[in-house]
Amino acid sequence: MKIVLIGSGKVASALADLLDALGHSLVQVYSRTADHASLLANKYGAAAISSLADINKTANLYLIAVSDDAIDEVVKQLPESLKGIVIHTSGATHLSVLDKFPNGGVIYPIQTISKHTDLKDRTTPLGIEGNNEISTALLLEIGKSLSKKSFYCNSHQRLALHVAAVFANNFSNALYQVAHDILKENNLSFDLLKPLILETAHHVQNQLPKEVQTGPAKRNDQNTINRHLEFLTQKPNWTTIYQELTLLINNKDQ
Amino acid sequence: MKIVLIGSGKVASALADLLDALGHSLVQVYSRTADHASLLANKYGAAAISSLADINKTANLYLIAVSDDAIDEVVKQLPESLKGIVIHTSGATHLSVLDKFPNGGVIYPIQTISKHTDLKDRTTPLGIEGNNEISTALLLEIGKSLSKKSFYCNSHQRLALHVAAVFANNFSNALYQVAHDILKENNLSFDLLKPLILETAHHVQNQLPKEVQTGPAKRNDQNTINRHLEFLTQKPNWTTIYQELTLLINNKDQ
């Protein structure tokens, strides 16, 4: 396929790497910042553009991988007449944002993508949706080549996945940071918690989180909970989070 | 060393396995439930007891590995005259609970211990404390043989570690469960988030959580946050947690 990549960030880079490895031809890379476009385009022998007015109109796939709040602006600037499929990669953005294109769709990678992320092991689940039967069928085929775990999901399911990912990834990571800060204030290294953090993530690979839940909240061990709350006295935000999550775990047991 | 094990749960079992593998002699196993005591004792050729009145008074180490709220009762029933070191393994329990013994201390394993946990790779950090110089020195020596990552920490630091572990382990796991429930309500498999959960835990092995924080809260992407909150409308508890953790991540950026 001839592919135009719109975006030059971490998701765009990881997808470009994967598509190139699978033998697709990246013909153009767009970024508002010309240098960013060039940097990525040069890697794949593609042309760099920094204006969407210069877009190649004969590509098979237009892959919008920009930040969620930039998608609208990109869509506005793209010509309606594009015959290739125009897709975005956002979990929280409805397919309808692409309504103006005859062929639109979504490929949503369910992973936290850093500059070190390698999608080439094809284990990242990809949520796929198209705005008509042909687009959906084609995107499902493409998805199958990009990942062993691609699947159809509609926009509401994709939003559910995105919210769930925020809880499982963004919020867990924020809790790691709280743990880090507590240790730092007590002259303890964050290294001490690293095996525990890994083990916690490994536990839920084969068992439900509910089945492996432990701790004072789960045991309803009020003495320990009170000791912890006393420890957190000076930290109202951490205290609220402690209380809310303790309540959540308690309710689960009912 | 001659060791008496007080407790027969997951922590007691994992420690018994490790101590036995290192060539120590488990002479007695106590549990309120005679069957539990026998089951564990038989594995190591130890005697099983279900009354602390029968405790062997000549052991070198008495290892209390019972649930936190049972420690007081065990201590009350143990004779003051024990010459060996009496230790507990609890993160949230102050060393002073063992004040009645001439030699007391703590070995606190910083790990979520299930029946599959194997401590024999000696990578689980162990927080060590003794109630006098000799006890501390001896426990630090023992700690070194039990783990490559043993270290001295006082009772306040241990409580800090325990609170931090609750955030990093118990609460992360509770968030995984929220994610699971969101997916289930939308006919999606929890499997879809498993790679993301692993990656999130791996990211903080070499970088600070703050450095790898991503998501709408981090970007202060109010549109996406609002879409998520709308999605969570029917779930007041999840909404509060979403808002509090979003606030926490936002504040981090200031």
A179-183, long-range: CB within 8 Å, 24+ apart, which pairs? Answer: A179/B164, A179/B165, A179/B167, A179/B168, A180/B164, A180/B208, A180/B209, A180/B210, A182/A238, A182/B160, A182/B163, A182/B164, A182/B167, A183/B160, A183/B161, A183/B164
Residues B182 and B129 in one domain: no
| B65 touches B12 (CB < 8 A) | yes
State which of A114, A135, A153 marks the end of a domain.
A153
Residues B26 and B132 in one domain: yes
| Residue whose token pair is 């027969």 | B8
- CA of A63, closest CA in chain B: separation in Å? 20
Each residue's pLDDT tens digit, A14-38: 999 999 999 999 999 999 999 999 9
Q: Which of A59, A54, A61, A57 is nearest to A98 (CA)?
A: A61
Q: Which of B1, B56, B154, B100 is nearest to B15 (CA)?
A: B1
CB contact under 8 A, A248 and B237: yes
How far is it, in rounded angstroms, from Cα A86 to Cα B43?
64
- CA of B20, closest CA in chain A: separation in Å? 23
Strand partners, A49: A30
Strand partners, B63: B5, B87
- The average confidence (pLDDT) of chain B is 95
How far is it, in rounded angstroms, from Cα B250 to Cα A169?
16
Instruction: Extract the tokens encoding B195.
Output: 């790679």
Residue A252 has pLDDT above 60, yes or no: no
CB contact under 8 A, A198 and B202: yes
Model pLDDT, residue A21 = 95
Model pLDDT, residue B253 = 41
Model pLDDT, residue B208 = 97
Residues A98 and A10 in one domain: yes
* CATH code, B184: 1.10.1040.20
* pTM, two decimal places: 0.93
How far is it, in rounded angstroms, from Cα A161 to Cα B76?
52
CB contact under 8 A, A169 and B224: no
How far is it, in rounded angstroms, from Cα A148 to Cα B172?
27
Residue A127 has pLDDT above 60, yes or no: yes
Residues A149 and A165 in one domain: no
User: What average pLDDT does the segment A178-205 reach?
Assistant: 97
- The average confidence (pLDDT) of chain A is 95
- CA of B57, closest CA in chain A: separation in Å? 31
State which of B153, B182, B213 marks the end of a domain.
B153
Task: For residue A171, list chain B residues with Cβ-Cβ distance below 8 A.
Answer: 175, 241-242, 245
Each residue's pLDDT tens digit, B211-220: 999 999 999 9
Residues A36 and A149 in one domain: yes
Strand partners, B37: none
**A204-208, B110-114, B141-145: the lowest-pLDDT one:** B110-114
Which one of A176, A238, A247 has the shortest CB-CB distance to B204? Answer: A176
How far is it, in rounded angstroms, from Cα A51 to Cα A58?
17
Which one of B167, B231, B247 has the shortest CB-CB distance to A163? Answer: B231
Model pLDDT, residue A253 = 42
How far is it, in rounded angstroms, from Cα A19 to Cα A59?
14
Residues A68 and A167 in one domain: no
State which of A153, A179, A204 marks the end of a domain.
A153
Q: Structural domain of residue A79, as residue ranges?
A: 2-153
* Cα angle value B38/B43/B44 (rounded, 5°): 105
Question: How many domains would you assign to chain B?
Answer: 2
Model pLDDT, residue A114 = 83
Q: Which of B226, B228, B203 is nearest to B214 (CA)?
A: B203
Percent of chain B with pLDDT over 70: 99
Q: What residue type is A82 in one-letter code? A: L
* CATH code, B36: 3.40.50.720
Residues B17 and B63 in one domain: yes
Q: Which residues contact B113 (CB under 8 A, 6 or more apart)?
A: B10, B11, B14, B119
Which one of B127, B163, B198 has the shortest CB-CB distance to A201? Answer: B198
Residues A148 and A162 in one domain: no
- Nearest chain B residue to A172 by CA distance is B172
How far is it, in rounded angstroms, from Cα A129 to Cα A18?
19
A&B contacts, CB < 8 Å? 327
Residues B204 and B146 in one domain: no
How far is it, in rounded angstroms, from Cα A50 to Cα A32?
5
Residues A77 and A147 in one domain: yes
Percent of chain A with pLDDT over 70: 99
How far is it, in rounded angstroms, from Cα B31 to Cα B8?
6
Residues B146 and B45 in one domain: yes
Q: Which residues contact B194 (CB under 8 A, 6 or more apart)?
A: A204, A205
Residue of A115, A122, A159, A173 to mutate for B, most B C-beta atoms under 10 A? A173
* A163 vs B116: which has the higher pLDDT: A163
| A245 touches B241 (CB < 8 A) | yes
Each residue's pLDDT tens digit, B2-54: 999 999 999 999 999 999 999 999 999 999 999 999 999 999 999 999 999 99
ipTM: 0.93
Strand order in the sheet with B150-152: B47-49, B25-30, B2-6, B61-64, B85-88, B104-109, B126-130, B150-152
Residue B254 has pLDDT above 70, yes or no: no
Residues A196 and A244 in one domain: yes
Kindly report the length of chain A: 254
